[in-house]
Amino acid sequence: MKKLLKKRVIVSALAITILFTGTAFKSDFFEIAKQIEIFTTLFKELNMNYVDDTNPADLMDTAIKSMLDDLDPYTKYMNEQDVEAARINNTGDYTGIGARVRTLKNKLVIVEPYKGYPADKAGMKAGDEIIKVNNIVVSDFKENAGDLLKGSPGSKAEVTYLRQGQTKTATIERQEVEVDAVPLFSMIDDKTGYIALTKFNRKASEQTIEALRELKGDGAEKIVLDLRGNPGGLLSEAVNVTNIFVPKGQLVVTTKSKVKKFNKTYYTKRDPVDEKIPLVVLIDGGSASASEIVSGSLQDLDRAVIVGSRSFGKGLVQRPKRLTYGTQLKVTISRYYTPSGRCIQALDYWNRDKDGKAVRTQKNEYNEFKTKNGRPVYDGGGVKPDVEIDLSKPTAITKAIRKTDLIFDFATKYYYDNKVESLGSFKFKDSDFNAFKSYLRANDFAFETNTEKALDKVISIASEEELDKYISSDYSKLKESLGALKNKALNDNKEQLITLLESEIIKRYFYREGLYEYYLTNNLEIKTATEILGNAVKYQNFLE
């Protein structure tokens, strides 16, 4: 009788659960259908009755993007051109002129020509402003102007561009372009190899394995893996790159979602290339997503010493969902967790401040986790390096300058004003830094500190309360002092600014490959990594 009663209770509980689950599902489905019907009727009435002519496609595009803006910056609607751009980013292959290009309002700017590809062969340089492609004026083109440079292999693009105020033309024959995930690998010294991994496309692990094997063949007994500035890419490739250094069957990352089928655990599937070789991984604020999975998992597993500055803090996973007419929705489906169980997501997009901005997780809200050897690591703010390099942490003034194009534009000016014969002869002098400061002034560079914003708010409130006349002189003195401090900030951050300027300038003369070669002997993070690897006891102490 008791068994029968127990069975009835269980069946009743299951029935109630199913009823409520089904009711909740029906309720959600009804609400979605209701809102779609409201929007459809509104959209129809608006287009039929608005006083001026409307463009339904533009209205819908705005509506979709505005809706997604309330979520997170990674959930995006992708039109056909966006879908193709994403494919290129993931595969590393496309057909075009072989250059990274920035689209501005009325022109296309060459940011970086790839060595040996059509744009480079045609003599185009970083800073060239394309104003016309064939017979199409860029400023008149309403779609993505970057698409004008794409085309079938062998087709030609007649490009009109501005360089240092002069109008020039070039004929560029398009070709298939293969963007390497590993632009350079080399020996730092006779026992230390260096691999620069700049993106996680489908070639990332394959090219990293090739680089590692070749370096070991050259005598490498220790490795520096550089993930600085790597924005991420394919999660599967993050697992594969980690697998190069850890055994088969090792948990690398877990994803958790409200949709059960997206809850997954990712384990290494292959035998490692080398699970013993001493390893240092370099990261910075530009290392995100897949870069953080690799650095975070290697840190959790006590497999590598992490050097640099705190990573970006993107602990979210996206997946493209096919829509109609060749479009897609790239939607955030889950959060990911490193082997210790931490999620390094830094910004909370679901609990915003009064201005609607995502809130950054504060240090006092971080949770502690343990690595394989019991070392403390924390969630909520990116991957924190085992060895932090102050020089690589962006300050307020370097952040403000980087938000402008002034470093890029100064590098363009430097390139045309200075002749550099070889990488070894390059030297950014004090006079060059003074020229940069003058360039900032000439271009009206200014940035407002949080202190200034607070002071302006105080004087505004004082004005409303008619107290401003009593504090105006003190306010003026404070503003003047802050102005002097900001000028001093340029000199205080000289070393960091010079590093940024050198990185941009060197690419003008010697391409990206030359920049990484320059790093091998001049970069503080690489020198620190080499020093750690050169002392076996010191290296091991970081991992225990």
Q: Would you name the residues annotated as active-site residues?
A: 289, 300, 314
Strand partners, 282: 226, 307
158 alpha-carbon distance from chain centroid = 32
CA distance 356 to 111: 32
- Give the C-alpha distances (Å, rounded to integers) separating 245 from 219, 255, 281, 287: 18, 22, 12, 19
CA distance 491 to 398: 11
Nearest Cα to Cα of residue 195 among 499, 505, 422, 529: 529
Neighbours of 520 (CB within 10 A): 19
Nearest Cα to Cα of residue 284 among 199, 405, 394, 181: 394
CA distance 64 to 3: 55
Nearest Cα to Cα of residue 93 among 201, 206, 207: 201
CB burial class (10 A; 0-12, 13-18, 19+) of residue 31?
exposed
From its phi and psi, is residue 51 left (phi > 0), alpha (psi between -120 and 50) or beta?
Answer: alpha
Q: What totals of helices (H) and strands (E) does the chain contain, helices first?
A: 15, 23
Locate 486 and state its tokens.
């900001």
- In this structure, are strands 305-308 and 387-388 parallel, antiparallel, or unpaired? parallel
- Give the C-alpha distances (Å, rounded to integers) separating 517 from 96, 342, 458, 476, 522: 27, 35, 51, 49, 9
CA distance 309 to 307: 7
> Buried (b) or exposed (e) across 133-169, using 16+ Cβ within 10 A?
beeeebeebeeebbebbbbeeeeebebbbebeeeeee
CA distance 118 to 176: 10
